[in-house]
Chains A and B, each alone.
Chain A
Amino acid sequence: MGLREYVIRRSIYMFLLIVAVVCFNFFLFRLPTFLFGASPVSLMLSDELRRNLTQDLLEQMYVNFGLVPNPDIFDWIYMFWRYIVSMFTGNFGVSFLTQRPVMDSIVERLPNTLLLMGTSSMVSILLGIWTGVKVAADPGSRKDVSAVTVALFIYALPVFWLGMMLLLIFGFMLPQWTEAMWGIRIGFPQFGTISYDVWEVARGNPLGALMVAGDVLHHLFLPMITLGVGGYGGYFLYMRNNLIDVMTEDYILTARAKGLDENQVLYKHGLKNAMLPMVTIIALNFGFLINGATLTETVFTWRGLGRFIFDSLLLMDYPVIQTIFMIIAITAILANFVADLLYGVLDPRIKYG
């Protein structure tokens, strides 16, 4: 079976998986309606509004949101059909809560999430590969054992707690300390993605873009470090174990026998081969980039998708969660696919079958 056939087969399989995810999506978020008969409309109504509500108006509200009060099985089938059609035609609907198109709210938050996840992934991948290689050259040494212990520690660390500690130290204690020492507060902001006053000043300033960028970076630093360190342990262990495995291969022995110096063996022969599975892992990871990091975003009140999922989940804002959920799942499926193909392209020894 050639590459062409493999790609076709994988594509069909991918499409089926996407269909499955879309269907699953519909039922998952309507679970409370299935189980308890809870309705998002009744969650939206305040007592004040409910008192002044006529039956006509209530029905009108249901119709506006594409919902049916007390749906029977045929209503469900109808709603499911409409859902499927709108999902595949790219009509993701309007948020129950804000009455804005779902896509607008998502696009608004997407850059923040990508910025945070992208930079932090960079930090952890680069750090992980670098230290992994350093350590794998001499497994079992004191340096190796301590690095592995640190990596295991990071692996066991609840990342959001690390964020809280950083926030407490650099967002609270550091400014307090500098204020006591020199009378000015130097530190990192405690919350948000950008400061409102900076935004106000920047709007009328020719160098406003620079100020905004600087302020966003200032806000970005702590969550980026948090997620970067949080992801580091896994990459490091993976890189190290791979490289140690590779270094037992015969071609490494050959390279050494040829008289190459140890650095050349490690980087030219060892690293190149150990990077192959690493590339797969990185590609898979990129599939979950837009996933956001709900917990870390919560700690730093970063305005990203992860927190958005959680907030709209509690308010039963179906259109928002089902859209984000679907986008995340489809990205993950695509990333899986790309990772598989990439592996074959990079490593000619792999035969598709």
Chain B
Amino acid sequence: MSGSHKGWRDSNWYVSITGFWKEYRKHKIGLVGLALILIFVGMAIFADGLITHDPTPQAKVAPTYLMPSWLSVFDPNGVITGDVLTDPNLEETPLIRANGTHGEFSGIHVPLSDTNNQSYVNLTWSHTAGTQLDFDIDPEGIKPDYGDFVYFEQNFTWPYNNRPSDVNMSVSFGTTLTGDFAPGGPVGNNLMFRVYVWLIDSSNEWTKVYESREATYVEAVQEKRISMNYLSLKSVFDGMIVVNGTQQDPSNDVRIVIGLAPYRWFDSDTFGYPWQNYTGTVTFKFTTLKMVAYGEYFGIMGSTNWGADAYSQLIYGSRISLIIGILATSLATAVGVIVGMVAGYFGGKVDEVLMRVVDFLLVIPGLPLMMVLAAFLGASIQNIIIVIAILGWTGTSRLIRSQVLAEKNKAYVESARAIGASDTYIMFRHILPNVTPILFANITLGVVGAILSEAGLSFLGLTDPEDPSWGRMLADARTGGAFSTGAWWVVLFPGLMITLLSLAFTFVGHTLDQVLNPRLRER
């Protein structure tokens, strides 16, 4: 570059940001890196909106090591783990119906409103002694004992051509009892009614999955867990499997029916029917109805060895990586700049002592020292940042020192000193802006080092086990037997994220180096 030509590089970096950008955007990899960084920053900021499940590594939401659900396109019989019912909180009005002709049974749906923050369905049986009920016992014990009962129902369509490996359901209800049904009434009054949950497939085959057998019914809403056994899974789902192009059931729709029915109970003294002696009401308040079907696939990125959602952890991991990468590098750069400036500017004894400290830190083995400090200081994020920064500042300080040595004898420093500027003022207002361009590449490459160090430390288990970070996911994959089960998705994706993020910073750093430090470009 000839001396007469004055480019943007000859003026201060901050007045020539447009010139810089003109130069920067010529480098394709620099732009790719910048775009990637923006994506990751966006991911970190909007992590709470992007996640689908709890990102804590130990939060179990599914069986362990389920494959990512998009892989099920290769598997026509695959079942994706997930909620089956679209309205678990009963916010929509369901179909409520009373069997029989008595008018003793009723049901009502109360939706969300300004005064009501929990929508629910009430099923009520208000009985007057002597009203005769239609006793019709089912020999298989599937349907209720009386033709008179009340129920509400929900529907779902089973989209897969296979039986789920397991189904977990839960129903929450609270009970209000009055009259003879209330506590303190006749002995055994709580055995006269029951809550049932049935699954009814499209060929109208009933499968009972739940029947309440409480010793005492309480008013507080309690969640009852329902597990389906092998036989009930078979009877509900097997009819929907297509064999040789035909399936047994007419369609893939299944009804879930939740009913309140009287129970066949005879008074032990009189062997009388229950309707003869009791007067009172039973009200069940149902607040939730959940159903999770388990298959071989789960979520966007599969599940981990803890059965946690890998995708949510991946998203959250960007926070830890970015925070530690950027903060540790800022800390290291700040220390490095101050030490380098002081050493270079004052020279002599100060320089000697500071550079010996730098030499000392350079011969100490880096990763082992980090391991020692991280293990001894504790596993919080601040400590990891400090540990990484302790070892990160030496390179910067050497770089800055050599630059300051070249700058401090220039005329502008001398003139500043001549008009009586203090050392601090000269250092930070005159010299620092002139050595800044060389820092930028150094900072971005420092971020790469910090991100990789954090990944390594958390891979060794030296960070907080509750924090979802990419290195931690890899550590879990190793200790959780991903190699012997072939769970490649818990290995591939976290590593890919680390690589992409540090690659983005490497690209930007490389480009900055080429733009701001033109030694290599001129040939």
Q: Is the CB of B456 within 8 A of A172?
A: no
- Judging by beta carbons under 8 Å apart, are B520 and A244 in contact? yes
- A21 contacts B491, C-beta separation under 8 Å: no
Nearest residue, chain A, Cβ from B501: A156
A-B contact count (CB 8 A): 132
Chain B residues whose CB sits within 8 angstroms of the CB of A31 once the complex forms:
372, 376
Contact, CB under 8 Å: A156 / B478? no
Contact with B375, one of A20, A171, A313, A328 (Cβ below 8 angstroms): A313
B436-459 toward A: CB 8 Å interface, digit per residue (1/0)? 000000000000100010011001
8 A Cβ contacts from B499-519 to A? 499, 502-503, 505-507, 510, 519
Question: Does A55 lie at the interface of the complex (its beta carbon under 8 Å from any beta carbon of B)?
Answer: no
B502 & A332 in contact (Cβ 8 Å cutoff): no
- Inter-chain contact A313/B372, CB cutoff 8 Å: yes
A41 at the interface (CB under 8 A from B): no
When distances are taken between beta carbons in the complex, the residues of chain A under 8 Å from B29 are 149, 152
**Chain B stretch 89-107: residues in CB contact (< 8 A) with chain A:** none
Q: How far is the CA of A52 from the CA of B491 in the complex (A)?
A: 46
Give the docked Cα–Cα distance between A328 and B506 (Å).
29
Segment of B46-54, B112-120, B121-129, B360-368 in the binding face: B360-368
- Contact between B499 and A325 (Cβ–Cβ < 8 Å)? no
Asked whether A152 lies within 8 Å of B375 as measured between CB atoms, the reply is no
Residues of A within 8 A of B360 (CB): 17, 20-21, 24
Q: Verify if A165 is at the interface (C-beta below 8 Å from B).
A: yes
B498 close to chain A: CB less than 8 A: yes
Main secondary structure of the interface of A (DSSP, over half): helix
With a cutoff of 8 Å between Cβ atoms, the chain B residues found around residue A161 in the complex are 455, 474, 491, 494-495, 498-499
Does B429 have its Cβ within 8 Å of any Cβ on chain A? no
Q: Mark B452-477, 1 if CB is under 8 A from A, else 0.
A: 10011001100000000001001001
Known contacts A160-B459, A164-B474, A168-B482; A314 and B375 CB within 8 A of each other: yes
- Cross-chain contact B499 with A157 (CB below 8 angstroms): yes
With a CB–CB cut-off of 8 A, which chain A residues contact B495?
Answer: 158, 161-162, 164-165
Given A17-B363, A294-B460, A328-B365, does the pair A156, B503 have CB atoms closer than 8 Å? yes
Are the CB atoms of A165 and B486 closer together than 8 Å?
A: no
Determine if A200 is an interface residue (Cβ-Cβ < 8 Å): no
Closest chain B residue to A324 by CB distance?
A: B368
Chain A residues in 8 Å Cβ range of B488 = 168, 173
Partner of B460, one of A139, A172, A295, A332: A295
Other 6 A-B pairs with CB < 8 A, given A288-B365, A295-B460: A139-B523, A158-B499, A291-B365, A310-B371, A313-B368, A324-B368
Chain B interfacial positions (CB closer than 8 Å to A): 29, 356, 359-360, 363-365, 367-369, 371-372, 375-376, 448, 452, 455-456, 459-460, 471, 474, 477-478, 482-484, 486, 488, 491-492, 494-495, 498-499, 502-503, 505-507, 510, 519-520, 522-523
10 shortest interchain CB distances as A-B pairs: A161-B495, A156-B503, A156-B502, A332-B363, A156-B506, A328-B365, A31-B376, A152-B506, A164-B491, A158-B455
Interface of A toward B, CB cutoff 8 Å: 17, 20-21, 24, 28-29, 31-32, 35, 139, 148-149, 152-153, 155-158, 160-162, 164-165, 167-168, 171-173, 176, 190, 241, 244-245, 247-248, 288, 291, 294-295, 298-299, 309-310, 313-314, 321, 324-325, 328-329, 332-333, 336
